[in-house]
Amino acid sequence: MSTFGFSNDVKILCGDHALDNLPYELRERECTRPLLISDERSYRLGFVKEVRHAMDNDIVALGATYYKISEKATPKDCDDVINLYKAHGCDGIIALGGENVTQCAKVAKLMLLQGVGDFVYFNHKFDMDAEKLAYGDLPLFILPTEIPCGIEATDRASVFDEKNNLLYNFESVLTRASAVILDVRLTDIMPAKAMATAGLGALAMSIKGFVDNTTNPIALAYATSAIHTIINELLPAMRHNSNADYRISIYSSIINAGIAYYAIDESLLRDIATELSIKTEHSHLQILSIMFPVYYKEKVTTEKPFKSVLMPLVGEEEYALSNAKSREIKAIDKIKDFWESVVALAEIPSRLQSTGIEQSDFVKLADAVITRYRGTDPHNNFTTIVKLLEEAF
Amino acid sequence: MFFFAKGIACCYRYDEDFRRYVGMLPDNFVFRMRVLPDGASVTVTKKGDGITASSGKELTVYPDVDVCFKNIEGAYSFLTGKKSFAVCLAQSAFVIKGDVSGMMTVSHMFDIVGSYLLTVRTLKKYDRALLPRTAGVHKVRFMTVFGRF
Amino acid sequence: MKGSRFYYEFYNPAKVEAGIGCLEQAAEKLPLLGLHNAFFVCDRLENNDSADNVRKAVNAAKVRTGAIYVCEDKIVRLESLRDMRDVYRANNCDSIVACGSYGVINAAKTLRMMLAGQVARFEDAKGIDAVRKKVNVPLVAVPTDVGTSNVASDDVTLKDDEGAVFECVSPLCIPDFCIIDPKVVSVRDADAPIAGALESFAKNIEEFVSRQAVTLTKCMNLIAIREVRDNFVKSADDPTDEHAVFGLQKAGLLAGICYVGASAGIAHAISGALASVTGRERYICTGIIFAECMRYNLEVAEKDYAQAYYYIVGDDKYAATPAGERAEALIAAAETMIKEKFGANRLATRLSDIGADEELLDKIVEETMKSYALVTNPRNVTKEDVYAILRSVM
């Protein structure tokens, strides 16, 4: 039965002078005193100033500014944001920065809509099925200043409690942004290494999104467009990292890849990457960039529609000429070749050992992944996970 | 906005195609282009056999078509020829209040104004249409800058 | 640092639930969207199993039917809209459920735009993004025809009191919830799949080559074109084949989603004008002019046509066709498909078949030049071009 559901009402504004549309979008949502949250890095690089400049008019003005979000979003950050929001009578949030700011803003929005001011209490009250209607909406604009992390336009958010070593994961429409604004002026030139890691991570997300969304044509299109863009533009983007067109193109494909990846309910790859990122303090995309060639090589027999991935990887011409029976193998080879060329060009870590994890941790890790995994695929068991980790080590 | 308004008046005086498009508009048709929320505007009114074009901030008329640029940058890109009216529309640079079909006629008129006021090099650089000019380019440009309407 | 001129916006807030027999399950979510006392719009009351089933499913989800309105307009008239608004208010409705074909969905979309934007006069909603949301009026759309692309698009075409046609484009026109269930499709004659397939195919091809198209919308269009290829013949041969109908519905849905991002082109503009002037169904008009419109855009869209050709013919034929001939081959394939299926069903293939003679040309061209879709056509369209296209299919 090919039943599917899809919902994503995040507006994406991407490219030249996208930031100039922010005041208009705020006015459209009757938001006149937004709270701008950011981190030290974005402040130092002058991005906060850029946003202030864009907001310079009589109708919309920043209600307050907060640029002290930690390197990893924590419950304390969320509490601080909420307190400031309430104290200054703000009516919307602008999140300017990297993954930390995005995560913090999304969780803060969720907490504000549910009317809970204390994080610990909030966590108990959390309702996974909360719909927008019950709580209304709060304008949230996400302005990535570094390479996006893929969750910008999704229903997901997470914050890490370092004290208790706990990762709080949230999935709710209430975490959704009103719009994601990707402006060239807010994206600095990225080192080839960072671009390579994020690009490969996004490729992993989009391939996963492609394979698991075959019955959902909308999510499939998001995945296909991301694969196509990354395969064609990641290497030029790394070679010419001052070229804004390539950079924006890769950034928007990461956002699209995220939409397809998080449209899947359950994914072993995602759970492995999540656990490893908690353990190693590396980002989800970094872990994916290391893990995914191994994962697909191992899982190609169980990921049935894998041969169709060849199409966005090589294009219509090569796909039509390829032998229908060997398309899975060809897709794996293509992924491997691409991965190797990116890794070689950027000299990024290609094995798990470079993340600082020990082989002795694998059993514990596999246990944690199995606990997290809610899928029903019998192939995704303890042995498979340990095998995957060892292969990637 | 001021020179664009004068450019419209000039094109109406000298260009046949422009007059043909104006002829397609109903009498007393008012077109306004402005920058949101309360920026500068240009208003073009068709009255009988002629048109009047004016610029300023006053919003005293109720236009048939009101093109509202979302920000000053969008208006700047259009007025300097970086983007055609069609590209601005395609990139959602403005909202339009009023009759979309009237706006299409106005869009053809803007292309003509652009083809006089912008150099061939600029038009080529920004991938703009090179429309045949039925009047002298220098005359139109001179009158746009120094003429009194 | 090298600058960039690239810019795009993409937004489609429609929540989609699709599947064979998904109606009941999807309807359960309606109270979460804020539906309590729904205003139900359909195209007829008698012998309308689709509307009855949808109403039952909606009522089973504890959503009352506040009022039922029958809208028979192909292009919605302002008079009908005023009636609908009065009935909606008189019955204290809080939401709209539209179950029907193109006209019904358009009527419901327009009504929602007016109510959500609290627009007093319908004329004030004319334009592009002219209305801002002020109150929440949930709109649920359940299409009952095969290829309804307007179910997820942001445009509506209306007829004013003088009979003039005008367009409105607004995100408020996009339904909050689209339920795509082939079991609800009511029209099961042989023309229905042809209409659905042709409209979807033409729209997807035009969006694919549109000036506004981006990689994301292009990917959606290609997936939709493949759905049309896989399901058109099956559905035309057996209009009761639910899987085939579902495939065509998906193609229509994707065309609608992309329309918001990519708009359409010259064929959309001419077919709209033809339908409005001659009073014939839009798909018939599209069938007559589509191949010529493709030929007109060929010089600027050759690469895109060549790529799309793969999704129509598949591996072997694509590989066997020289790269330089694929674009022409796509047009030939489209032409053959239209002629064969239209001919077999005794539908019009020339303008003269629908009563559009030389005398009406001026009116058709004038209406065409007013269309917003021309802006995104890959070639700059002049009046002379439209005359030439129309004369070639007289």
**What per-residue confidence (pLDDT) applies to C111?**
93
Rounded average pLDDT over A293-310: 72
Output the CATH code of domain C15-184.
3.40.50.1970
- Is the pLDDT assigned to residue C98 strictly greater than 90? yes
* C373 or C224, which is more confident: C224
Contact A67, A43 (CB under 8 A): yes
Angle at C309 between CA C308 and CA C313, to 5 degrees: 130
**What per-residue confidence (pLDDT) applies to A302?**
56
User: Can you say whether the dihedral through the CA atoms of A168, A172, A174, A178 is positive or negative?
Assistant: positive
Identify all chain A residues contacting B72, using CB atoms and an 8 Å cutoff: 20
- Is the pLDDT assigned to residue A163 strictly greater than 50? yes
- Is the pLDDT assigned to residue A129 strictly greater than 60? no
Backbone angles phi, psi at C100, to 5 degrees: 170, -160
- Give the DSSP H/E element, type plus range, for residue A22: helix A22-28
Bond from prior residue into A139 cis (ω within 30 degrees of 0): no
Report CB contact under 8 Å: A133, C136: yes
CB atoms within 10 A of CB B142: 12
All structural domains of chain B: 2-136 (3.30.1050.10)
Give residue-wise pLDDT tens across range A94-119.
Answer: 999 988 899 999 999 988 888 776 66
* A347 or A119, which is more confident: A347
Among the listed residues C175, C152, C158, C94, the one whose alpha carbon sits nearest the alpha carbon of residue C122 = C158
**What per-residue confidence (pLDDT) applies to C191?**
75
- Is the pLDDT assigned to residue C344 strictly greater than 70? no
Report CB contact under 8 Å: B100, C376: no
**pLDDT band, residue A247 (cuts 50/70/90):** confident
**What per-residue confidence (pLDDT) applies to C108?**
94
Give CA–CA dist A157/A77, Å, rounded.
14
Give CA–CA dist C295/C76, Å, rounded.
32
Give CA–CA dist B62/B45, Å, rounded.
11
* A333 or A296, which is more confident: A333
**pLDDT band, residue A120 (cuts 50/70/90):** low
Rounded average pLDDT over C29-40: 87
Select from B92, B96, B101 the Cβ nearest to the Cβ of C130. Answer: B96
Closest Cα in chain B to C156: B100
Among the listed residues A154, A138, A48, the one whose alpha carbon sits nearest the alpha carbon of residue A97 = A48
CB atoms within 10 A of CB C68: 16
CA distances from A264 to A154, A205, A209, B73, C130 (A): 11, 10, 7, 39, 36
User: Reading across the β-sheet that carries A92-97, which strands appear in turn?
Assistant: A64-66, A34-38, A92-97, A140-144, A179-183, A11-15, C7-10
- For chain C, the maximum distance between any two Cα atoms, rounded to a whole number of angstroms, is 67
Identify all chain C residues contacting A243, using CB atoms and an 8 Å cutoff: 2
Report CB contact under 8 Å: B37, A17: no
All structural domains of chain A: 11-186 (3.40.50.1970), 192-392 (1.20.1090.10)
- Is the pLDDT assigned to residue A321 strictly greater than 60? yes
Rounded average pLDDT over A12-39: 90
Place of tokens 């990297």: A98
Give residue-wise pLDDT tens across range B46-87.
Answer: 887 777 777 766 656 678 888 889 988 888 888 777 787 878
Report CB contact under 8 Å: C1, A244: yes
Please check whether residue B45 touches A, CB under 8 A: no
- Is the pLDDT assigned to residue C311 strictly greater than 50? yes
Identify all chain C residues contacting B92, using CB atoms and an 8 Å cutoff: 9, 129
Give CA–CA dist C380/B114, Å, rounded.
15
Q: How many CB pairs under 8 A join B and C?
A: 67
Rounded average pLDDT over A13-23: 89
Q: B57-66, C317-326, C363-372: which has the minimum mean pLDDT? A: B57-66
Select from B95, B97, B100 the Cβ nearest to the Cβ of C166. Answer: B100
- Is the pLDDT assigned to residue A363 strictly greater than 90? no
**What per-residue confidence (pLDDT) applies to B115?**
74
- Is the pLDDT assigned to residue C325 strictly greater than 80? yes
Backbone angles phi, psi at A5, to 5 degrees: -135, 145
3-state secondary structure at position B87: helix
Task: Dig out the tokens for C316 from the structure.
Answer: 């072997």
Report CB contact under 8 Å: A20, B73: yes
**pLDDT band, residue A36 (cuts 50/70/90):** very high
For the packed helices B100-117 and B2-14, what is the interaxial angle rounded to 10 degrees? 90
| Shortest alpha-carbon distance between residue B59 and chain C (Å) | 17
Identify all chain B residues contacting A23, using CB atoms and an 8 Å cutoff: 71
**pLDDT band, residue A41 (cuts 50/70/90):** confident
Rounded average pLDDT over C58-85: 90
* C346 or C195, which is more confident: C195
**What per-residue confidence (pLDDT) applies to C1?**
37
Give CA–CA dist A176/C278, Å, rounded.
46
Rounded average pLDDT over C63-79: 89
- Is the pLDDT assigned to residue A63 strictly greater than 80? yes
Amino acid symbol at A333: D
CA distances from C234 to A37, B60, C198, C226 (A): 55, 60, 14, 13
Give residue-wise pLDDT tens across range C147-158.
Answer: 777 888 888 888
**What per-residue confidence (pLDDT) applies to C337?**
81
**What per-residue confidence (pLDDT) applies to B39?**
80
Q: What is the residue-averaged pLDDT of chain B?
A: 76
Closest Cα in chain A to C131: A28
Rounded average pLDDT over A210-218: 86
Please check whether residue B125 touches C, CB under 8 A: no
**What per-residue confidence (pLDDT) applies to A10?**
92
Rounded average pLDDT over C152-169: 83
- Is the pLDDT assigned to residue C265 strictly greater than 60? yes
- Is the pLDDT assigned to residue C3 strictly greater than 50? no
Place of tokens 């498979």: A384
State how far Cα A177 lies from the chain centre.
13
Report whether CATH 1.20.1090.10 matches the domain C191-392: yes
Length, in residues, of chain C:
394
Identify all chain A residues contacting B77, using CB atoms and an 8 Å cutoff: 17
Quick one: DSSP state of residue A306? G
Identify all chain B residues contacting A29, using CB atoms and an 8 Å cutoff: none
Contact A188, A164 (CB under 8 A): no
Please check whether residue C246 touches A, CB under 8 A: yes
Backbone angles phi, psi at C8, to 5 degrees: -150, 155
Identify all chain C residues contacting A1, using CB atoms and an 8 Å cutoff: 19-20
Percent of chain A's residues with pLDDT above 90? 23
Percent of chain C's residues with pLDDT above 90? 37
Closest Cα in chain C to B130: C380
Rounded average pLDDT over A264-275: 83
Give CA–CA dist A113/A124, Å, rounded.
15
- Is the pLDDT assigned to residue C2 strictly greater than 50? no
Among the listed residues A60, A92, A66, A89, the one whose alpha carbon sits nearest the alpha carbon of residue A79 = A66
Q: What is the residue-averaged pLDDT of chain C?
A: 87
Report CB contact under 8 Å: A217, C220: yes
Report CB contact under 8 Å: C127, B66: yes
**What per-residue confidence (pLDDT) applies to B2?**
67
Please check whether residue B71 touches A, CB under 8 A: yes
Domain layout of chain C by residue ranges: 15-184, 191-392
Rounded average pLDDT over A215-232: 92
**What per-residue confidence (pLDDT) applies to C195?**
81
Q: A232-236, A278-282, B28-32, C205-209: which has the minimum mean pLDDT? A: A278-282
Q: What is the residue-averaged pLDDT of chain A?
A: 84
**Torsion angle defined by CA atoms of residues C207, C212, C215 and C217, in that order, rounded to the nearest 10 degrees:** -40
User: Can you say whether the dihedral through the CA atoms of A133, A137, A141, A146 is positive or negative?
Assistant: negative
